[in-house]
Amino acid sequence: MKRRKEGYFDFEHHHPNAYLERKRNVEQGLHARTKILEVLAMTAPTEAAAAAASNSEEMREDRTELTIKTISESAAMSYSSSFHHLRLLEAEKIVKREGKRPYKWMVTGKGQRSLDEVDLELEVTKMEKELLMIPGPVPVLPRIRKAMSKPMIFHRGDEFGAMYEEIVETLKDIYQTKNDLFVLSGSGTCAMEAAIGNLVGNETKLVCITIANGKFGERFGEIAAKYKADAVTLVNVNFEWGHPIELEAVKEALENSSSSDHKSKIVTMVHNETSTGILNPAKEVGELARKHDAVFVLDCITSIGGDKVPVDELGADIAIVGSQKCLGAPPGLSALSVSKHAWEMIRENERRPYYTDLIAYKKSLEKKQTPYTPALPLFFALHEALAVIREEGMENRIERHRGLAKTVRDAVTGMGLRLFPKLNEVSDYSNTVTAIEIPAANGNITDEQLRGGMRKRGVIVAGGQGKLKGEIFRIATMGNITEKEVLKTIQVLREVLMENEFIEGEGEGLEEGDHNFD
């Protein structure tokens, strides 16, 4: 059904409850229109048939009966309602009227679309209007958004228990872990805080080593500073943002902590540093942590679900993921796995957080529940998002993410842009987000010109965070993004660069990435 005017069926701009009311109204309208069309179909020929028999006495007799009054009586509707829906059908050229009042109505042979088709058109129109290519929240598939509109259920009942159990088991498969796993009603930072809060804060002597080469690696240190007790020593092993992690520095920090009288050790690191687009050496750091009997906390918020992250093989004692990244679900949920090694330290901590007490989550999981009220619509959405992942298959999903990321890297370098991360032998470019330098050194183009120009063309990409604001921009290839969205983003970027006279030519940067989809 076409909209009569801008915003007529634009549900996205209404409160969620208003959406349901408007949808009911649309559904009732479609039923009314269907009844009218049924009356017309039984008593009137199509426009083509009418033209072929325009002189027929039978035709003239039938057509004189197809007035609004006759139609409303046959459809058991009011005169005004019948006229209203006939006008809508006429606007879409599904019916037409002839002659003078009282008009004679006839069908044209064109069909009307179903409610599902109306919904699909609205969703596609919204997605095409503004393409979100940022590293979370990612675009959410219509079927996942639809899952959030399910009626509420008893969160202590069997239906929720079965759903939660399936979510946990699917996530454990994606994690490739045998460890315990829990879903929290909170974003990725909530899970980061849960990990630190459950480990740091006890009165035993403990050292917490935070490894960082970007904004989110440093966030671990900020959280640890909030929870530390007097007996806890914080060691920040920081590198320049976007520069690689040097294993020797990590090794030295661990050896220094082993030579002290600290009883326990924690090592934190971000696997895929979203702020700089670099993939950090999880396996190598995990081996160092294991050698020194340290609990290894690994932020996999933007890698799990989009890249190969065998949590147990990497030696991650606590591994974290966010719902709105590679999993392709809406924001608001996170999950973390906990090893036996981590549980030993957690149980010793008598100053665990209240809401994110992982021991409480472990007890509740035995009953297929969460300790506190879960965000049910988000759990519905996550459950559906995981079904999408199962249907695609993790191997295919990983290859898609890698192919799309390589396409972006090849395209932007082909246009003369430089990738931001600096790599060494144990680091790599991210396969879920690409960080690119803004060519502003010679006054070529500013952040506002580049990202603002892309936004005016309907594509939103992320800028730099913190100290990198205005220096880089980032293109995400995570979640359920496809070749179509990536190629559109590349095309729009090329147009903006040409507009600002950074590049010339019609196809620069496009051919370089085409082979990644073969």
Highest mean pLDDT, choosing among 46-50, 85-89, 320-324: 320-324
Q: What's the fold here for domain 392-517?
A: Aspartate Aminotransferase, domain 1 (3.90.1150)
Q: What's the fold here for domain 157-389?
A: Aspartate Aminotransferase; domain 2 (3.40.640)
pTM (global) more than 0.85: no
Percent of the chain with pLDDT over 70: 81
pLDDT for 350-378, tens place per residue?
A: 889 999 999 999 999 999 999 999 999 99
* CB neighbour burial string for 107-142, b if at least 16 within 10 angstroms, e if fewer: bbeeebeeeeebbeebbeeeeeeebbbbbbbbbbbe
Asked if pLDDT for residue 195 goes beyond 80, the answer is: yes
Cα 336 from Cα 188, distance rounded (Å): 9
Location of each CATH 3.90.1150.10 domain in the chain: 392-517
Cα 363 from Cα 355, distance rounded (Å): 14
Mean pLDDT of 269-292: 97
Cα 355 from Cα 325, distance rounded (Å): 23
pLDDT for 83-136, tens place per residue?
A: 788 888 888 778 888 877 777 888 876 665 544 444 444 444 444 578 999 999
To the nearest 10 degrees (0 to 180), the angle between helices 16-43 and 115-129 is 130
Local confidence band at 262 (pLDDT 50, 70, 90 cut-offs): low
Location of each CATH 3.40.640.10 domain in the chain: 157-389
Mean pLDDT of 394-402: 97
Between 103-112, 242-251, 433-442, the lowest mean confidence (pLDDT) is in 103-112
Cα 408 from Cα 413, distance rounded (Å): 8
DSSP bridge partners of 322: 334
Of 229, 202, 242, 209, the residue nearest 466 (C-alpha): 242
Check residue 133 and give its pLDDT.
97
DSSP count for the chain of H helices, then E strands: 20, 16
Asked if pLDDT for residue 157 goes beyond 80, the answer is: yes
Do 159 and 499 contact (CB within 8 A), yes or no? no
**Which DSSP state fits 212?**
E
Check residue 106 and give its pLDDT.
82
pLDDT for 181-193, tens place per residue?
A: 999 999 999 999 9
Asked if pLDDT for residue 170 goes beyond 80, the answer is: yes
Q: Which CATH number fits domain 11-107: 3.30.2350.10, 1.10.10.60, 3.40.630.30, 1.10.10.10?
A: 1.10.10.10
Asked if pLDDT for residue 64 goes beyond 60, the answer is: no
Check residue 398 and give its pLDDT.
97
- What is the chain's mean pLDDT, rounded? 85
Asked if pLDDT for residue 311 goes beyond 50, the answer is: yes
Asked if pLDDT for residue 516 goes beyond 90, the answer is: no
Cα 386 from Cα 168, distance rounded (Å): 10
Check residue 110 and give its pLDDT.
64
Check residue 472 and give its pLDDT.
96
Check residue 141 and give its pLDDT.
95
User: What does the block give as tokens for 475?
Assistant: 């293109």
Asked if pLDDT for residue 464 goes beyond 80, the answer is: yes
Local confidence band at 228 (pLDDT 50, 70, 90 cut-offs): confident
Highest mean pLDDT, choosing among 43-47, 115-119, 258-262, 447-451: 447-451
Mean pLDDT of 230-250: 93
Check residue 38 and give its pLDDT.
77
Query: Judging by beta carbons within 10 Å of its beta carbon (0-12, 13-18, 19+), is residue 242 exposed, middle or buried?
Result: buried
Q: Which helix (H) or strand (E) holds 393?
A: none
Mean pLDDT of 378-399: 97
Do 246 and 388 contact (CB within 8 A), yes or no? no
Cα 437 from Cα 448, distance rounded (Å): 14
Asked if pLDDT for residue 407 goes beyond 60, the answer is: yes
Check residue 14 and give its pLDDT.
40
Do 474 and 408 contact (CB within 8 A), yes or no? no
How far CA 414 is from CA of 178, 285, 410, 502, 514, in Å, comes to 43, 34, 6, 12, 12
Q: Which residue has the higher pLDDT, 297 or 510?
A: 297
pLDDT for 477-515, tens place per residue?
A: 999 999 999 999 999 999 999 999 888 765 555 555 555
Percent of the chain with pLDDT over 90: 64
Check residue 504 and give its pLDDT.
77
User: What does the block give as tokens for 500?
Assistant: 């600002």
Mean pLDDT of 29-57: 61
Check residue 66 and give its pLDDT.
79
Q: Which residues neighbour 429 within 8 Å (Cβ) at sequence distance 6 or greater?
A: 277, 278, 279, 405, 409, 419, 421, 423
Check residue 13 and give its pLDDT.
42
Location of each CATH 1.10.10.10 domain in the chain: 11-107
